[in-house]
Amino acid sequence: MRRVYFVLLIMVILFLSACQSSEQLKPIKEETIEFDINAAIEMIEKKEQMIIDLALREKVSKLEYKELEKSFTEEFGVHAKDILSMLFINNMDSDPESDRYVQQNTLYPTVFHKGITITDAVIYKSYFENEFFNQTSLTIKEEYVGDNEKLKNWKRDYIFTPNKNGEWELYGFSGVLNFSGEDYHMNYLELDLESR
């Protein structure tokens, strides 16, 4: 019987400490700051220009692919491999030394496509009693504002956090990254490269 009470006591203590810890993780202050939309557009254009340049090619050599891995890692961080895997046909049976073919049946909407635009850029900051938990992030929202029914309501958020040097570094995405299938390709929406 004592053992049952002891186990119940431990469960109650764990439950109460869990409730208390969730109370401590609520921010004591939050703020939202508008980010310069032109700076946001420049940040996204730099990343998406790399994607457009690659997607408009048919294939790349093994050496070119290694260089792409390096440059995409510099720009997209830990997400580089995910982006590259979307853009290339992964054929396990092909010779590792052979050229790699670019996926032609995929659309990665970019600011260079007509109807795609940056609609918002906001810095979110949250402050906690314990400064260790303070957070800062920048969300840049990209949306389709055209009249294509298949892309209606499409949006993607690029989420950045400051690195040790205070520079914005890609943290993640929210929304739909790309569309794939026979109906889609990088020219699915008209490209507007000259106006940039």
88-140 pLDDT tens trace: 987 665 666 788 889 888 899 999 999 999 999 999 999 998 888 899 999 99
Quickly state the pLDDT bin for 53 (edges 50, 70, 90): very high
DSSP 100: E
Question: Considering the domain boundaries, does residue 188 fall inside one?
Answer: no
Question: Considering the domain boundaries, does residue 5 fall inside one?
Answer: no
Number of folded domains in the chain?
1
Question: Considering the domain boundaries, does residue 55 fall inside one?
Answer: yes
Q: Is residue 21 exposed (0-12), middle (13-18) or buried (19+ Cβ within 10 Å)?
A: exposed
Question: Considering the domain boundaries, does residue 68 fall inside one?
Answer: yes
- What's the CA gap between 128 and 135, in Å, rounded? 9
Question: Considering the domain boundaries, does residue 145 fall inside one?
Answer: yes
Joined together, the tokens standing for residue 59 give 């294939």
The pLDDT value given to residue 23: 52
Question: Considering the domain boundaries, does residue 1 fall inside one?
Answer: no
pLDDT over 90 (residue 32): yes
How much of the chain exceeds pLDDT 90, in percent? 58
The pLDDT value given to residue 185: 85
* Cβ count within 10 A of residue 156: 20
DSSP SS3 for 174: strand
Question: Considering the domain boundaries, does residue 144 fall inside one?
Answer: yes
Question: Considering the domain boundaries, does residue 24 fall inside one?
Answer: no
What one-letter code names the amino acid at 5? Y
- What's the CA gap between 149 and 13, in Å, rounded? 55
Residue-number span of the structural domain to which 144 is assigned:
32-180
What is the pTM (predicted TM-score) of this model?
0.81
The pLDDT value given to residue 132: 87
Q: Is residue 11 exposed (0-12), middle (13-18) or buried (19+ Cβ within 10 Å)?
A: exposed
For 76-130, give the secondary structure using H, E and C.
HHHHHHHHHHHHECCCCCCCCCCCEEECCCEECCCCCECCEEEEEEEEEEEECCC
Select the more confidently predicted residue: 193 or 105. Answer: 105
pLDDT over 60 (residue 196): no
The pLDDT value given to residue 118: 97
The pLDDT value given to residue 165: 92
pLDDT over 50 (residue 22): no
The pLDDT value given to residue 12: 59
pLDDT, averaged across the chain = 86
